[in-house]
Amino acid sequence: MPSLSPSAWFESVSSLGRACLAVACLTAFVAAPTAAQDIDPELKPYKKVGGEVAGTLKCVGSDTMNNLVSLWVEGFKKSYPGVREGIEGKGSASAPPAITEGTATFGPMSRDWKPSEIDTFKEKHGYPPTVVPVAIDMLAVFVHKDNPIKSLSLEQVDAIFSKNRNGGAKADIRTWGDLGLEGEWKNKPISLYGRNATSGTYGYFKENALFKGDFKPTVKEQPGSSAVVQAVASDEAGIGYSGIGYATADVRAVPLSLKTGGEPVTTAPENAYSGDYPLARFLYLSVNHKPGADLDPLRREFLRYVLSASGQADVKKDGYLPVTGVVATEALGSVGVSAP
């Protein structure tokens, strides 16, 4: 397992999330890949500890993780009912300044810290922020449930959403006919839906699906992941991107291939754990942890809950994928905490 410092950890997962997911997450499931979405038996249920665990859990950051954080807090408060909470899902961009300035306990993020954000934190505190991987997501490209498109390559996704076509497509893609659909679909303009620039999902998609290109001005920016999915669900010609946890029966996640002509990969859980799905990523909780110092009981126990079988059951309930015992142990160790 790589170091969990932002620079080293981000370096290991930023290239489509493949290498780290393949090595770290497949480990516990290599003998039973069909059960990859199940909770690793190495993870144990959370047990309440003695002593005072109180205070306010202020979580500021990712909209993608908003529901998930709410489930974690709800489960955690069953053991510690005196804990107060405040959850703000403004987008991943709001997490680094909140952690840096001390206005948040945790910063949920669906993307990496930017170098400039790390530098700002280090200037104030003298050490880098700590990021703790807490769940696995597959960033899905959704279409309306009645759309017959069978699959897309990242090159095609880039030509649909980006004005630069850094992925190598020779021509812009504006209609469903440009993707080979016939009949009533041939001349239908593609309606584009996405997130705004404060979103970690926006940044991740721009980096990995648009090859660092710029979005077309015709992308209709939505305030949250749920809004993207709802927009696509109500627009037969629509296409949008969101974390897989926001999937509904009214949309369909399109299988993706790395290259045109390549084998399309579905959003089946085993494809995230193997690293085969090209837009698999970790979801994180960022925290201000001074190296060598002990976390206070509130932050320590909340992380132990999140990375226990109990917290990872919440991950599964919200439609994301649980981390393995290997990842959980390494993650807790990065802040000097033992697993439950």
Do both 299 and 319 map to the same domain?
Answer: yes
289 is a domain residue: yes
In the numeric block, which tokens belong to residue 235?
């627009």
Confidence of residue 338 (pLDDT cuts 50, 70, 90): confident
Tell me, yes or no, whether 38 lies in a domain.
Answer: yes
Average pLDDT score, the chain: 90
Indicate whether 80 and 123 sit together in one domain.
yes
Judge whether residue 20 has pLDDT over 70: no
What pLDDT digit, counting tens, does each position of 99-135 carry?
999 999 999 999 989 999 999 999 999 999 999 999 9
> Is there a domain that residue 100 lies in?
yes
Final residue belonging to a domain, choices 273, 292, 320: 273
In the predicted structure, residue 16 carries a pLDDT above the cut 80: no
Looking at the fold, whether 117 and 161 belong to one and the same domain comes out as no
Cα 22-119-62 angle, rounded to 5 deg: 55
Position 186 in a domain = yes
CATH classification at residue 311: 3.40.190.10
Are 15 and 123 in a shared domain? yes
Residue that terminates a domain, selected from 273, 294, 320: 273
Report the domain count for the chain. 2
240 and 214 share a domain?
yes
133 and 144 in one domain? Answer: no
Residue 339 belongs to some domain of the structure: no
**One-letter-per-residue 3-state SS of the chain:** CCCCCHHHHHHHHCCCCHHHHHHHHCHHHCCCHHHCCCCCCCCCCCCCCCCCCCCEEEEECCCCCHHHHHHHHHHHHHHCCCCEEEEECCCHHHHHHHHHHCCCCEEEECCCCCHHHHHHHHHHHCCCCEEEEEEEEEEEEEEECCCCCCCEEHHHHHHHHECCCCCCCCCCCCEHHHHCCCHHHCCCECEEEEECCCCHHHHHHHHHCCCCCCECCCCEEECCHHHHHHHHHCCCCEEEEEEHHHCCCCEEECCEECCCCCCCECCCHHHHHCCCCCCEEEEEEEECCCCCCCCCHHHHHHHHHHCCHHHHHHHHHCCCECCCHHHHHHHHHCCCCCCC
Q: Please report, rounded to a whole number, the percentage of residues in the chain having pLDDT higher than 70.
A: 89
Q: Give the domain-ending residue among 223, 253, 273.
A: 273
Look at residue 340 and tell me if it is in a domain.
Answer: no
- For residues 265 and 311, state if they share a domain: no
Residues 268 and 148 in one domain: yes
Average the pLDDT over 282-307 and give the result.
Answer: 97
**pLDDT tens digits for range 37-78:** 689 999 999 999 988 899 999 999 999 999 999 999 999 999
**Are 251 and 264 in the same domain?**
yes
Confidence of residue 7 (pLDDT cuts 50, 70, 90): very low
Q: Is residue 36 part of a domain?
A: yes
User: Is residue 31 predicted with pLDDT exceeding 90?
Assistant: no
Q: Is residue 225 part of a domain?
A: yes
Q: Both 290 and 216 in a single domain?
A: no
Average pLDDT of 175-202? 96
Query: Do 223 and 97 share a structural domain?
Result: no
Residues 231 and 122 in one domain: no
Residue 246 structure tokens? 């926001």
The yes-or-no verdict on residue 305 having pLDDT over 60 is yes
Expressed as residue numbers, the domain containing 326 is 6-137+281-333
